[in-house]
Structure 1
Amino acid sequence: MARVTLKTVAERVGVSPMTVSNAFSRPDQLSAALREKILATAAELGYVGPDPAARTLARGSTGTVGILFHGTPRYALSDDFGALFLAVIAEELGRGGLALTLLPNLGTRDVLPVRDVAMDGAIIYSCSPADESVEWLRRRQLPLVLVDQPQDDHFPSVNVDDRAGARAAAMHLVELGHRRIALLAAGPEALANPTDWYVPRERLRGWHDVLDPAGITPALRYVEKSAGEAAYTAARELLAGPDRPTAVLAFSDAIAADVLRAADDLGLRVPRDVSVVGFDDSPVARRLVPALSTVRQDVVEKGTTAAAELVAAVRARRAGDDPPVRHHLLRTELVLRESTAPPAEVNHGTNGTFVG
């Protein structure tokens, strides 16, 4: 069977090969009727379009953007919130004519995805600014969008008001009467550098904005988010002690789920024996028993905004313009469900200091 090429389609329709190429790559250059005729003829002949590699060389762009996140792809996709966030970004990018490539924060001296993968731009999602992979993307001078990162005057950013959300969660527990409160924060490296790990730092600050003026010294445990059973182990240690907390503020819903599991394994009832508040309002928050009180961030708005900013930045770069730099701070909302209640009388104490 003879190989069907762009020239084959052009000869069948009676147009130039460039016109056929435009039908696939630059549809605005043709009338709708002519483009439809070319595409129909191509489909009839079994021609799928210009070779992507050749199209990349001709256009000077790949049609692909990357997303770099902390940890491995397995971890990034292991919870409902992360998976939904990536799905929203992929859908929005697709509407802008771009495909999404995952950039694992892995590699070797010879093969490093952030350095070697061809792409038109990238989203940097919840990484340390000091990360070597982040530095490689900056060196490549690609259009970048920062998500859950400190603001940078050179790149657009999308952040959630983490500090306000954490403040609302802590205030809820204090107003219920809790004094013995534990914090399960992301870490342990979270606060090693004041410019690192934006989200863990902001949520910890928000909790302390409320607890410090109330005279409450919480028990604090850092949990490495991608370290398997670390959250469950930390929660069980806190709840098994003789001086256990009456409430726990968790960095995320995924960590809060491990608190509920630890409580159940210890024979404690939520919220009668211990109240728990998460962060994110991921689908798991509604599936837990009892349903989880949490801080809601709009993952669809977050993903859509990040993708739209990257599409705009890539288009600007293609046109020879400087990408626009806009900073978005998305609101949070406290969502109350069944996992919080006033502390039982046996757990009330006059001393707000708690060193678990």
Structure 2
Amino acid sequence: MTHPAEPAARRPTGRDVARLAGVSQATVSLVFSGSEAGHRVSEATRERVREAARELGYRPQAAGRQLRLGRSGMILLAVPNILGPFFGRVLVGVHEEAGKHGMAVVVSSGWGSATLAEAADTSRFDGLLICSPDDSQLGELPPATPAVFLDADPVTDPARPTVELDVAGGMRAAVEHLAGLGHRRIGHLRSTHSAYTFRVRQAAFEAAARDRELAVVEAGVTLNEGQEAARTAAYRMLAAPDRPRAVLCDDDVVASGVYQAAAELGLRIPADLSVVGIDNVPVAGLLAPPLTTVDLPGEELGRAGVAALAALLRGEPAPAVPPLATALVLRASTRPVF
């Protein structure tokens, strides 16, 4: 005996969303218009409509809407190294915020000025998010290309928005922490990249060490070479007879290389060596002992960048965003000098 096939579940419509949210169908259309028209509706009403859409599983017809607006619905996030854990945090924030604006995200790694110019000259992307650019990677973007810089020098392109992190404040907090524990001689494993973020870290480290009258031992590390390059540089620093009893690293991957070198030399963390990193990526909490580090809010950086880009795409000025606050996360890798 055969049974008639059950009818396919009906796809929710804008009318269903309007009924659940208690608004008109026109209001639902405005909220999902993808243009400045959506801002004729109050934020409270927009959120009510979006919540109703999420509850029903409603998806607006994005393709038709983007076609009407002359857009692709995609934005490009350009990062220096997709394998860098910090950029994974940025991508999480970018995806979260892009979804709210009906945009998809494409990631480009290891890009250069030619790649950006090509992306800007095509209609493939509605706008660009350029994260932590190296000086050699930047060329001149077409003036009409909507673009936002993340973790970059605000003078890179004064006509375009830049969302910064307070990396200088984070570095100062790290130096102050080690000095407060009684360390008078500090090792610094610094990045050799010319990117603005690392220039700021270096300047802040030098200033804080000078203010505290600390002796400094420095070594450069090429971050793209990863943990092994960090281990090699850390081993040389820690094998010296006058080794520092504290090391501050420009990121957490470098700090993990310090852990490896310390273990090979029979040094205990933190009994023989205090270690501090920067970024607060997931590996920081997994090291033994867990790493004291400066939290750089990558997710917040990504969300703020997309919000600024969305404003540009609506024809509005991007909101001014003060440098995003960083914070020292105290764990078990540091201790007072005895």
Shift of 1:295: 1.1
Alignment correspondent of 1:221 = 219
Alignment correspondent of 1:295 = 294
C-alpha distance 276-108 of structure 1, shift in aligned 2 (>3 A): closer
Aligned counterparts of 1:90 and 1:218: Cα–Cα separation in 2: 40
Q: For 2:79, which of 46, 69, 78 is the aligned residue?
A: 69
Aligned counterparts of 1:279 and 1:231: Cα–Cα separation in 2: 14
Shift of 1:334: 1.4
Alignment correspondent of 2:152 = 149
Instruction: Compare CA radii of gyration and give the structure with the larger one.
Output: 1
Query: Could you say what secondary structure the match of 1:212 adopts?
Result: helix
C-alpha distance 212-125 of structure 1, shift in aligned 2 (>3 A): same
Q: Deviations over 1:182-224 (max 9, x none)?
A: 111111x43xxxxxx2111111122222211333231111211
C-alpha distance 88-213 of structure 1, shift in aligned 2 (>3 A): closer
* Number of residue pairs matched by the alignment: 282
Aligned counterparts of 2:135 and 2:112: Cα–Cα separation in 1: 18
Aligned counterparts of 2:248 and 2:136: Cα–Cα separation in 1: 28
Aligned counterparts of 1:110 and 1:288: Cα–Cα separation in 2: 37
Shift of 1:85: 1.6
Q: Deviations over 1:39-64 (max 9, x none)?
A: xxxxxxxxx979x5x97665321111
Alignment correspondent of 1:135 = 139
2:119 partner letter: V
Alignment correspondent of 1:329 = 323
Is 2:78–2:108's contact at 8 Å kept on the other side of the alignment? yes
Aligned counterparts of 2:113 and 2:204: Cα–Cα separation in 1: 38
Alignment correspondent of 2:51 = none
2:294 partner letter: V
Shift of 1:93: 0.5
Q: Equivalences for 1:24-173 in 2 at 5 Å?
A: 58-70=68-80, 75-79=81-85, 81-106=86-111, 113-115=118-120, 117=122, 118-131=124-137, 134-136=138-140, 138-139=141-142, 141-152=144-155, 153-173=158-178
C-alpha distance 116-172 of structure 1, shift in aligned 2 (>3 A): same
C-alpha distance 78-311 of structure 1, shift in aligned 2 (>3 A): same
CA RMSD of aligned residues (A): 2.9
C-alpha distance 77-57 of structure 1, shift in aligned 2 (>3 A): same
1:119 partner letter: F
Query: Could you say what secondary structure the match of 2:313 adopts?
Result: helix
Shift of 1:110: 10
Aligned counterparts of 1:94 and 1:62: Cα–Cα separation in 2: 14
TM-score, normalised on structure 1? 0.71
- Point out where structure 2 has 5 or more consecutive residues left out of the alignment: 1-28, 39-59
1:181 partner letter: I
Alignment correspondent of 2:268 = 269
Give the share of equivalent positions with the same residue, in percent: 34
TM-score, normalised on structure 2? 0.75
Query: Could you say what secondary structure the match of 1:310 adopts?
Result: helix
1:92 partner letter: E
